[in-house]
Amino acid sequence: MKINYSLLNFSFEKKNIKYILIVVFLYLIFLITSLPASVVLSAIKLPGNLSLTSVSGTVWSGKVRKVRVSGIELGSLNWDLHPFNFIFGELSASVSIINEEQYIKTEVNFSTSGKIKLEETRFLIDLSSLQPLTYGMPFAYAGKASGYFPVSFFHKNNFVGINGKLSLSNIEMISPQRQSFGDFEVDFRAEKEGATSGRIKDNSDQLNIEGQLTLSKDGQFNVSAKLAAREAGSSLEQMLSILGAKDANGRVQLNSNFKLWR
């Protein structure tokens, strides 16, 4: 019998221990990500307003056939983890939510410091599908929201940096009276102070709007805009008169601010 003495003389030097720990760590990642997604989600206490139907796949790569939040049918949820980012203390994944023509697609990254990073975010949403959020309010609306945001960062009460463009098309109030507002765009840009600003402009022949919005790192959201109907004597002009008197240029001032989080 031949004995390999090189194995018997294996040295537990710091370098060797480091390699062993890396191998063990990678093996643990493999075990965790190979777990069935249905088993993991069943062990998590989900919020009462969140419903998941037909979970398949693994923690690494999985799918939920139907996701419902606060009465809103989001569609199917798909994810693919990038497990080797665990080595750097980060959780990264490709995530998509698809509901017929509507979709949200992004690359999301969570760091141990609490920072959230979104890359290559694209979406198309039918605003009428969000109607349950305004249940009980005396109005209904329609239109589509789409956007592309290359890179955005979030860290609660430290910074919020959103970069990209939001497009709102065929915006219309359905009730209490039918009124079309047209198309709008908001260009978002991250600022040095840890906040985000946005420039609002219209692309329609109905409502003229120019304004600015800001979202501070503590969740304070402010909107300041000037509005005017392009057609004098129109129903839209009458509606805008509710907001106040016109200025010297025939525009109505709109100011609003509220907290998105605390």
The pLDDT of residue 44: 85
DSSP helix/strand/coil, 35: coil
Give average pLDDT by consecutive 10-residue segment, the chain, 262 residues: 51 64 66 78 86 90 92 92 78 94 95 90 94 78 95 86 95 88 94 90 90 92 94 88 88 91 78
Cα gap 45→109, rounded to integer Å: 23
**Dist CA 90 CA 185 (whole Å):** 34
**33 closest CA partner among 55, 57, 58:** 58
pLDDT at 23: 67
> What is the Cα–Cα distance from 29 to 45, expressed in whole angstroms?
23
**At 26, is the secondary structure helix, strand, or coil?**
helix
Would you state the pLDDT for residue 89? 77
Please, is 108 exposed, middle or buried when counting C-beta atoms within 10 Å of its C-beta (0-12, 13-18, 19+)? Answer: middle
Residue 22 is predicted with a pLDDT of 65
What number of CA atoms fall less than 13 Å from residue 190's CA on the CB side? 17
What's the pTM value of the predicted model, to 2 decimals? Answer: 0.80
Amino acid 55: pLDDT: 93
